[in-house]
């Protein structure tokens, strides 16, 4: 099952398809064992840096002093990017379950999910899902809070997100959250885990099916799928999920349908901050 395969209309539908089993497995295991399962899967962060998720979880759990916190960064802000919002609209339950598993694994006292107040459909979907899962006692003991923030690019930066959770403007900090996190005051560092929507959406599947579920697709170094936004002068604009390691040609020509009639592809912008790519590079994985 891929991340976009299931679009449940209720928690009951999600549970009938196996939803919630990943958290049940996690709650029945030592947190260190949960982290080890995620590490074995090879899951890398889907927010851009590609940092090994298991390593980040282990650092938050073991390094520093004070209470721990877990945060889902849903403040998507890169231009023309809609993949996290699509995941939240399609299946908010798997994201919330992933956050609950992560919070348990790192020993968090509280968990937060931050998204922009302009994301109205996503906020409504998450609010309904959270209420349903709380009513069904399907999120474990760690409270999860939805935090709305400004429609600003810096809100999507993980330390800017921390500032908003602490009710301040989203101005970035100089220290990464897993080193010094939310509500930290000396001598406590309060290490805080920040993962993005897509990263956490993978987690319930890994705990339910085992690490090999992720490694069945993608590459040895970067297992699994990734969700992409394709827009511009293509036949089919939209959000698509492909195995990591797929060439850009698969994304642009097969998923996107290639250039619009009467046009040719002359340049590809792989994200706002990356180097422009030319058609000769379409076969680059």
Other CB atoms within a 10 A radius of the CB of residue 236 amount to 13
pTM score, whole prediction: 0.94
270 has a pLDDT exceeding 80: no
Residue 70: beta bridge partners? Answer: 111, 193
**Total residues found in the chain within this entry:** 285
Phi, psi of 123 (to 5 degrees): -65, -40
Confidence of residue 273 (pLDDT cuts 50, 70, 90): low
Would you say residue 35 has pLDDT above 70?
yes
For β-strands 225-230 and 238-243, DSSP reports them as: antiparallel
Domain boundaries, given as residue ranges, for the chain: 11-215, 225-281
Structure tokens at 17: 């398809």
pLDDT tens, position by position, 193-243: 999 999 999 999 999 999 999 999 999 999 999 999 998 888 899 999 999
Whether domain 11-215 has CATH 3.40.50.11540: the reply is yes
The C-alpha angle 111, 116, 121, rounded to 5 degrees, equals 100
In this prediction, residues 232-257 reach a mean pLDDT of 89
- CB hemisphere CA count around 276 (13 angstroms): 4
Q: In the block, which residue shows the tokens 């604009």?
A: 237
Q: CA-CA distance, 95 to 101, in Å (whole number)?
A: 10
Nearest to 267 by CA among 282, 275, 277, 259: 277
Q: What is the mean pLDDT of the chain?
A: 94
């Amino acid at each position: 099952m891929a991340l976009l395969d299931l679009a449940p209309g209720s928690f009951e539908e999600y549970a009938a398809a196996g939803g919630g089993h990943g958290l049940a497995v996690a709650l029945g295991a030592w947190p260190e064992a949960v982290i080890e399962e995620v590490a074995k899967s090879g899951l890398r962060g889907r927010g851009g840096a590609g940092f090994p998720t298991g390593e980040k979880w282990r650092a938050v759990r073991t390094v520093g002093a004070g209470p721990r916190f877990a945060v889902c960064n849903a403040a998507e802000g890169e231009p023309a990017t809609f993949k996290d919002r699509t995941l939240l609209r399609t299946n908010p339950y798997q994201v919330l379950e992933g956050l609950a598993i992560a919070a348990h694994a790192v020993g968090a006292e509280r968990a937060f999910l931050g998204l922009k107040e302009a994301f109205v459909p996503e906020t409504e979907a998450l609010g309904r899902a959270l209420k349903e899962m709380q009513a069904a006692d399907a999120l474990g003991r760690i409270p999860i809070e939805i935090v709305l923030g400004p429609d600003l690019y810096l809100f999507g930066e993980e330390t800017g997100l921390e500032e908003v959770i602490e009710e301040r403007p989203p101005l970035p900090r100089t220290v990464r959250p897993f080193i010094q996190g939310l509500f930290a005051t000396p001598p406590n560092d309060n290490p805080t885990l920040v993962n993005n929507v897509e990263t956490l959406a993978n987690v319930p599947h890994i705990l339910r099916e085992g690490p090999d579920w992720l490694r069945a697709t993608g590459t040895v170094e970067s297992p699994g799928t990734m969700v992409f936004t394709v827009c511009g002068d293509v036949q089919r604009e939209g959000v698509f999920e492909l195995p990591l390691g797929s060439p850009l040609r698969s994304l642009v020509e097969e998923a996107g349908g290639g250039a619009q009639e009467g046009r040719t592809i002359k340049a590809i912008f792989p994200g706002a901050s990356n180097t422009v790519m030319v058609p000769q590079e379409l076969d680059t994985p």
